[in-house]
Amino acid sequence: MKILHLLYESRGDYFGTGGVGTRAYEIYKHLKNRHEITLLCRKYPGAKDREIEGLKHVFFGAESKSFTKALLSYAFNAALFVKRYGDGFDIIIEEFSPAIPTFLHFFTKKPVVLQIQGCTGGLYFRKYNPAYASMLYFLEKLRPLFYDNFIFISQETVKRFSKGGMGRLFALKGSKCIEIIPNGISSEMLSVIPEENNYILYFGRIDIYAKGLDILIDAYKDFCKSFPEIRLFIAGDGREMKEFKDMLVKLPDDSRRNIELLGWVSGDKKIEVISKALFVVLPSRHEVQPISILEQMACGKAIITSNIPELSHITKNIVGISFKSGDAVALAQAMKDLTVRKDIREMGQRGRDLVKDLTWDKIALRFETFLERARKK
């Protein structure tokens, strides 16, 4: 197949790469030798059309350090690209984001797959000004109604999109092509021998509100009084890094000295950082199916998460413990509790057992099979 994938984040992106980009690169690593794949990516300062990791990258949009301007410019130019060149591909995959209103159904007759990795809903109003939040909220509900082929990442996301007006989507399920294809893990992680060193790990995008990093910092400040020998490692990058560093400067000296920013880590270094953590923490206010959690489970780590529905499988399967979302005091107590528990390794092993069949090669085959079905529909 000749595949065109509208991927708004890519390797080297000025604004960072999250789960959306990671998922695409991991899947196509296993498909690139069988298909002709083109990634249509958001342009960033210094981006040039080239091959990255064996995949053709084409960059469109404004070279702007304004996130909103970069997204809107990408949406406009990506739609024009599809209008001009879309017929040269067998199938088109679009990553769904209300902030990127492409409306591709107006520009091509080729089958388009909308890959929906999450539903933000009312949380937009907690993060953005009312006018911008209203636009995103409306587009999130409206745009999927125009598509016929869908990939969802989790059952919880399907549930969220099946509520309200989006119920129309599932009322027409018989005429649409819908599949749940989860995120995955690298098989190498399943064989690593876990250790428990004297640090707690956060691994993910630096997005202060959505990822709950403000809660984590407040909780660690309290935790550090009881366990000053246990450090906090923050692994990841993102456009809010400067703001996050400014938050750390305001911390008391004892806790600030104990926090280490690792930046973006990958490959063997990532496996080492995860596998040697005492346990990992994901205090998110909003999530879908974070790849980092699956990887941490694969490495045999116990996990603390907020008690949002998307992360309920952690406590349901006794892979870790949870705390009340947004509550720094509750998170600090959860960190203290898990530090002294004797069954951390048992939790980690249960997590490893749960994800052992979610290797990226198997996920890629499911993805490929769905594209073939959607193309022939």
Contact 245, 213 (CB under 8 A): no
Superfamily of domain 2-184+359-376: Glycogen Phosphorylase B; (3.40.50.2000)
As a whole number of angstroms, the distance between CA 23 and CA 186 comes to 11
Comparison of pLDDT for 150 and 142, the residue scoring more: 150
Domain with CATH 3.40.50.2000 in the chain: 2-184+359-376, 188-355
Buried b (16+ CB within 10 A) or exposed e, 288-323: bbbbbbbbbbbbbbbbbbbbbebbebbeeeebbbbb
pLDDT above 90 for 355 = yes
Per-residue pLDDT, 113: 94
Token pair recorded at residue 163: 């509520």
Q: Is the pLDDT of residue 159 over 90?
A: no
* The pLDDT of residue 172: 46
Q: How many CB atoms lie within 10 A of CB 193?
A: 8
Other CB atoms within 10 Å distance of the CB of residue 41: 27
DSSP-derived letter for residue 278 is S
Dihedral (CA of 161, 167, 171, 175) sign: negative
In whole angstroms, give the CA distance from residue 206 to residue 119.
Answer: 19
Closest C-alpha to 217, from 331, 371, 311, 68: 331
Of residues 338 and 60, the one with the higher pLDDT is 338
More confident residue, 147 or 68: 147
DSSP assignment letter at 229? T
Q: Which of 204, 206, 219, 211 is nearest to 338 (CA)?
A: 219
Give the model's pLDDT for residue 323. Answer: 96
pLDDT of 170 > 60? The answer is: no
Q: Is 174's pLDDT higher than 80? A: no
Q: Which pair of structure tokens corresponds to residue 223?
A: 């935790």
CA atoms of 227 and 220, how far apart (whole Å): 10
Angle between the 241-249 and 213-226 helix axes, to the nearest 10 degrees?
30
Assess contact for 319 and 351: CB atoms under 8 A: yes
| Region of residue 267 (left: phi > 0; alpha: psi -120 to 50; beta: else) | left
Q: Is the per-residue pLDDT at 350 higher than 90?
A: yes
pLDDT of residue 309: 84
Task: State phi, psi for 300 to the nearest 5 degrees.
Answer: 80, 35
The more confidently predicted of residues 170 and 245 is: 245
Q: What percent of the chain has pLDDT over 90?
A: 61
Residue range 188-355 in CATH 3.40.50.2000: yes
Give the model confidence (pLDDT) of 235-277 as tens digits: 988 878 999 999 999 988 888 899 999 998 888 999 999 999 9
**Amino acid identity, position 337:** D
pTM of the entire predicted model: 0.85
Structure-model confidence comparison of residues 305 and 140, the more confident one:
305
- The answer to whether the CB of 169 falls within 8 A of the CB of 147 is no
| Average pLDDT over the chain, rounded to an integer | 89
